[in-house]
Amino acid sequence: ALCPAPTPLERVHGSLYDPLDAERLFDLILVNPPFELVPEDETWFLHSDGGEDGLDVVRDLLANTPERLAPGGRFEIITWSPGTARGPLLVDLMRDSLPGMRLIVHLLDVQPLAEHIAPFRDTPGFDAFHARLVARGLEEVYFLFVHAAPARTPGVEVVTPQVEVETCRALAAQWL
């Protein structure tokens, strides 16, 4: 059995780390945060409203994550992130917030910015919202999974789906 004994779960209610004991450390933090890019005066679903650039909750979370990780602790996140020609903004946020970590970034999908924010196309102020995002250099929205773990050589490694598919095929070829 994968889990031979019952795994105790503790339910807490609150925002991010707030309801937890301040000294509590974690070996692994897994996150699937709200990520939708939502115009500032628009009411949207709580579970997906990530603020104007989709990263408000992530910024708040990352601000306190280093002191919440146990020695050797890992942080993993799956989300959408707006990006510039350099890539997803999330990667820069994580690199700045988690010094000493090696980030393995799995780029799973990418959409043009206009396509991603299309649900708001008919709302008042959409053109100004879109213009603010474009003025920040945002061009695309990336779907990504990022694994962060302490490393002797911190940095960023980007893995595209094509690389992962080729790796799987190479492994399968050894066994066929």
**Residue range 18-43, pLDDT digits in tens:** 888 989 999 999 999 999 999 988 88
How high is the pLDDT of residue 162?
Answer: 78
Lowest mean pLDDT among 6-15, 60-69, 80-89, 103-112: 6-15
What is the number of other CB atoms lying within 10 angstroms of the CB of residue 127?
9
Please give the Cα distance from 98 to 74 (Å, whole number): 10
Checking if the pLDDT of 123 tops 70, the result is: yes
Checking if the pLDDT of 8 tops 80, the result is: no
Q: What is the pTM of this model?
A: 0.84
- Give the pair of three-digit tokens for residue 127: 């053109």
Mean pLDDT of the chain: 90
Burial status of residue 162 (CB atoms within 10 A of its CB: 0-12, 13-18, 19 or more): exposed
At 2, which amino acid appears? L
Please give the Cα distance from 130 to 39 (Å, whole number): 9
Checking if the pLDDT of 2 tops 60, the result is: no
**Residue range 42-74, pLDDT digits in tens:** 888 888 889 999 999 999 999 999 999 999 999
How high is the pLDDT of residue 4?
Answer: 66
Burial status of residue 24 (CB atoms within 10 A of its CB: 0-12, 13-18, 19 or more): exposed
